[in-house]
Amino acid sequence: MSGLMRYRVRHQTTYRYGGDVAHSHQLLHLTPRDSAVQTCRSRSITLTPEPSIRREDVDAFGNFVTRLEFDLPHDHLDVLAEVAVEVCVPAHAAAEDSIPWEEVRDSLAYSGRPMREVQLDACRFRMESSYVRIKQVFSDYAADCFPPGCPLLQGAASLMHKIHRDFGYAPGSTNISTSALDAFTARRGVCQDFAHIMLACLRARGLAARYVSGYLRTAAPGADAALLGADASHAWVSVFCPPFGWIDLDPTNDVRVATDHIVIAWGRDFGDVSPLRGVIIGGGRHRLSVRVSVQAE
Amino acid sequence: MTDARLETYLSDTRRYDELVDSSGGIREHWQPLMDALASNGAGAVRRGAELARRLIVENGVTYNVYADSQGRDRPWVLDPLPILLTAAEWREIELGVAQRASLFDALLADIYGSQRLLADGTIPAELPFGHPNFLWPCHGITPAGGRRLHVYAVDIARSADGRWWALADRTQTPSGPGYALENRQIVSRVFPDLLGDLGVRSLGGFFVALRDNLLRHGLDTDSDLAVVLTPGSFNETYFEHAYLARQLGLPLVEGHDLTVRGDTVYLKTLGGLRRVHAILRRLDDDFCDPVELRADSALGVPGLLSAVRAGRVVIANSLGSGVLESAAWMGFIPAAAQRILGEKLRLPSVATWWCGERLALDYVLENLERLVLKPAYPNQNFPAVFGRDLDTAARAELARRIRARPHAYVAQERLAFSQAPVWRSGAAEGFAARALGIRVYAIATASGYRVMPGGLARIAAEAAGIVSMQRGGGSKDVWVLTPDRKSIDEVNVAGSVPRAATRHDDLPSRLAENLFWLGRYSERCEDKARLLRATLDVRPNAQLWPLVRATCGNFVAASLFDEASPLSLSADIQRLGWCAAQARSRLSAENWRAISVLQREFHDAAKARRDARETLDALLLSLAGLAGYALDDMTQDDGWRLMMIGRRLERLKFLADLLSQRLETGEASMQSELEWLLDIGDSTITYRTRYLAAPALGSTIDVLVFDQTNPRALAFQWHAIEYSLVRVAASLGGAPDDTLDEAVAQVEEMQLSAIEGDSSRAMRARQALAEQLRGLCAAAGKLSDRLCLKHFTLIDAEIRTVAA
């Protein structure tokens, strides 16, 4: 396996409205951000109809956002995002070399002393958010993954295994507004729910972890089956893991992220990075279809 | 103490007493008030309390408590005795409150900007990042004008040693300044001379400054527009939203009255879209924009945040300012004051321990029984609890919860609030002592924060009770005295705020629509009540009754009190009430009260199955009152014109319908039937004035259809409608609507001479007239639709959020 993967991604979203939409505002997270392991070579978003206003911006977490306003009546909306991305293998990080989880937890808690930027950044991802309310059940569930003195990455990896083992991948069993707690109770869900559950467990333990939205290559070379979640946008978790920094784990597929995943955006939970969200006025019932294709070059 | 009323006023050595000093004497600054009350005689306070109660009901001052299973508004409770504060004492409070406001504004700037205070350890990162009102989409936004905190409030109370402490800060949408002003206006009527005699500072200037501050950020032209944004009439403090809007002379709007286009906020008015420069919001942070904040909010304004980001609208307070509303901040404020302002905190907070700090946690766990435990974040499912109220097991469970997530809990010292006199009526009449807290307000001005010289004092319901509006208790006016009992610049009574010239084209479309339907339902209720009352008398008449049945069809069949039937009078009265509630900001207090009373009385009558005739008589009298308010008690702008068109149009439709139904049977009429029709049409007197003979069909139709001097006749309605349509068109542009013209012309051509008698020719003439009247009725319906289309279409259809 080479150290560098090149991908072309087409992400097509289509709304068909029952009647005319008189006016609408939309917010898109469809443009991949760059990172230490990822470079976006080309990016484009094609819209039909043309919006009356289009603004490219960067949100509070450093993600690219596109804001749209449509002020003429329209009965459909097509959004086509096409990107070319290079992903390289992350630096080696041996789980047993990561810092014990309690030390990391304590280093992020308030001490009255100044914090380094990297720590303060991690603090943004260790509290409750609207999808990820922190409850005792999550702390209890994760307890045996984090015995005293356990290196953080080891604990996080065993939590990932446990979630992958205990929860069923069941498309259609949840929806985009399902909370971590509801999915936890139902014991099943899709990648979004797996990620939310893992975030809730990590944060319940006082650790910092963020929700990552992105894509997954359709089939790993030489693998028999495609990875789960490859036909749509995907989601996984990134955990703050000193001394290595942020390490991405995919609980839906029970893998440490290497070069099969393409990052679009990250935030506290799905609500911060949903690919498309908006408000329409009028329009009646609507039909939505989403198609994603990820091709390795 | 010689004053008999004080015999019931018990001292409490654990508390500071506002009225009585430690040696049992009346404090010096209270003496003039006590003397004045004594000289007014024993009954003065009792009468004052009664008057205050009556004024509250008359002015419709309410506080809507969610907990009330009936969902009804509860009257505001105001104790007529003010609380007095000396100039020197107030100066300290004023400086302290203004300083806290400046500090919080700077804190907001930091956490929504560089977050330097988090990085350097002054403020725990857990406080903003764990708070549901910390809105990440607002991070990095610099608001137009730079100010984030425009209105600030703090609850203060006095400890046993006489010092004032801050108990809770309000930085999101502080409620109560309107109630404070309303309290002042009522108390100034209860004790008209006292405010001037004692040299009490006025509140008026504060509200002028509030409006000026909102409009300061606009383009500085006459067309600058600020609005008050309310979640709607179901909110617990809706009365205050409407009251504030009226006092400030600003339109009261709901989320769907506003629209964002091209990063600019517009108000949907009768005259089209009008740019909004500033919004005084009473809507919670995360409900304000469903595009970027809570997606399930139906109350917000889609795209509002992009307008804020572009610096094209000022929102008071800025979105996300609620993040500071947590007791957890209190322990860190003194250090922040040093760090940001380089000053010592003047108004200290009550002693607070945030359990996220190791040492604080240990202290709290050791001292649970003498502390109040509170949630650090408002979305926690954890009500504040007094440690001493818990038994051992409950205390252990609480300790476990705190240890599991220490940063989510805050402990505070219990403060024994000072006590003040309230008037207690009934058998044990006299002064009683109650715990007291005061909410003090500050607003941003170009030259810094300005503190309202007064506030909203709140008192406990019982002697040892807790001060809370939700749990009952009452309010008081706060009198800040001038040093020499003299006016400096602004002494005296209820500050009436000079109104801003609200332009006619500021009228929100939705409000106009509700006024239009208020007009239609008021008239519909009257028509139905008249019809039912007249028909009650007819029933025993075996000859007439079948005819009447045929004419009225469903109307008479629909029961008077049946709320389930959409045709019933009950149902229409409900609709009338609903439209009135939506248009409440345009109705005078008396008008609103008349509508509330009408609804209540009818509801009570229905419940008690009271005599129908008596109920209808009372209802018609009340409805006549509403008609009077409509004519004499409202600003006669385009909204009013549309309301009057609604009334006329409804009357036209009803009577044209009734007459056409009657005439199309072709049957000749009886005298008793004509009397019945004249009674429904309220034209008996008109008829008798014009015709000395007993009613004949031709002359009855003449009075009911063509008589332009009869305000009940069809002709009167269509002329009045035409006149109003011309006025509306002149004001809003375009040609007057001519939908009615053709149908009117056809009715006007009809000859009445031929309709009398039993001949088949007469029968055909009656049927022809019926046909024309049906046409008129249909045209009236069409006009209503066209008016809605023309003036109310800016009101959006369903708004929905989508996500993929």
- Please provide the distance, in angstroms rounded to a whole number, between the alpha carbons at the two ends of chain A: 13
B-chain residue closest to A115, CA distance: B119
A112 inside 8 A of chain B by CB:
yes
> CA B254 from chain center: how many Å?
12
Nearest to B129 among A67, A113, A123 (CB): A123
Q: Using one digit for the tens of pLDDT, what is the confidence trace for A108-119?
A: 999 999 999 999
Nearest to A53 among B259, B262, B405 (CB): B262
**pTM: predicted TM-score of the whole model, two decimal places:** 0.86
Residue B228 contacts residue B253 (beta carbons within 8 Å): yes
pLDDT-derived band at A61, boundaries 50, 70, 90: very high
- The DSSP string of A157-208 is HHHHHHHHHHSEE-TTSS-TT--HHHHHHHTEE-HHHHHHHHHHHHHHTT--
CB contact set of A172 (below 8 Å; sequence gap of 6+): none
Please give the single-letter amino acid code of residue B23: S
pLDDT on residue B96? 98
pLDDT higher than threshold 70 for residue B450: yes
Planar angle of CA B59, B64, B67, nearest 5 degrees: 150
pLDDT-derived band at A17, boundaries 50, 70, 90: very high
The whole-number average pLDDT for the span B532-550 is 81
CB < 8 Å & 24+ apart, contacts of B749-753: B752/B698, B752/B701, B752/B702, B752/B706, B753/B698
What distance in Å separates residue B378's CA from the closest CA in chain A? 12
Helix, strand, or coil (residue A259): coil
Q: Using one digit for the tens of pLDDT, what is the confidence trace for B479-495?
A: 999 987 665 444 333 34
Residue A224 vs residue B410, higher pLDDT: B410
Nearest to B801 among A22, A275, A277 (CB): A277
CB contact set of B167 (below 8 Å; sequence gap of 6+): B154, B155, B156, B157, B349, B350, B415, B437
Q: Using one digit for the tens of pLDDT, what is the confidence trace for B368-384?
A: 999 999 999 999 888 89
What distance in Å separates residue B138's CA from the closest CA in chain A? 8
Token pair, residue B137, equals 């989409």
A176 inside 8 A of chain B by CB:
yes
pLDDT-derived band at B566, boundaries 50, 70, 90: confident
Residue that has been written with the tokens 């004053």 in this structure: B3
R_g of chain B, CA atoms, integer Å: 32
| Residue B583: φ, ψ to 5° | -105, 15
pLDDT-derived band at B802, boundaries 50, 70, 90: confident
Token pair, residue B413, equals 């010292």
Nearest to A282 among B139, B290, B797 (CB): B797
B-chain residue closest to A134, CA distance: B405
- Please provide the distance, in angstroms rounded to a whole number, between the alpha carbons at the two ends of chain B: 74
pLDDT on residue A249? 98
Interface test with A, best of B136, B264, B359, B409 (most A CBs within 10 A): B136
Interface test with B, best of A17, A108, A128, A176 (most B CBs within 10 A): A128
B220 inside 8 A of chain A by CB:
no
Token pair, residue B455, equals 């506030």
Closest CA to B417 of B16, B20, B85: B16
Nearest to B799 among A27, A281, A290 (CB): A281
Total Cβ atoms within 10 A of residue B334: 15
Planar angle of CA A50, A54, A60, nearest 5 degrees: 145
B298 inside 8 A of chain A by CB:
no
pLDDT-derived band at B507, boundaries 50, 70, 90: confident
- The reply to whether residue A286 touches residue B259, judged by beta carbons under 8 angstroms, is no
Token pair, residue B446, equals 């170009």
Residues of B in contact with A281 (CB under 8 A): 302, 796-800
CB contact set of B53 (below 8 Å; sequence gap of 6+): B75, B78
* Alpha carbons A17 and A13: distance in angstroms, whole number: 13
CB contact set of B392 (below 8 Å; sequence gap of 6+): none
Residue B659 vs residue B297, higher pLDDT: B659
B-chain residue closest to A279, CA distance: B801
The overall average pLDDT reported for chain A is 93
Going by their DSSP bridges, the two strands A209-216 and A234-241 should be labelled as antiparallel
pLDDT on residue B83? 96
Helix and strand counts by DSSP (H, E) for chain B: 26, 22
Percent of chain A with pLDDT over 90: 84
* Lowest-confidence region among A126-135, B25-34, B121-130, B575-584: B575-584
- The reply to whether residue B803 touches residue A176, judged by beta carbons under 8 angstroms, is yes
pLDDT on residue A193? 97
pLDDT on residue B495? 41
> CA B365 from chain center: how many Å?
44
Residues in chain B: 804
Measure Cα distances from B178 to A163, B57, B241, B283, B415 in Å: 54, 16, 8, 16, 28
Closest CA to B755 of B682, B659, B691: B659
* Alpha carbons B700 and B415: distance in angstroms, whole number: 78
Token pair, residue B507, equals 């009228």
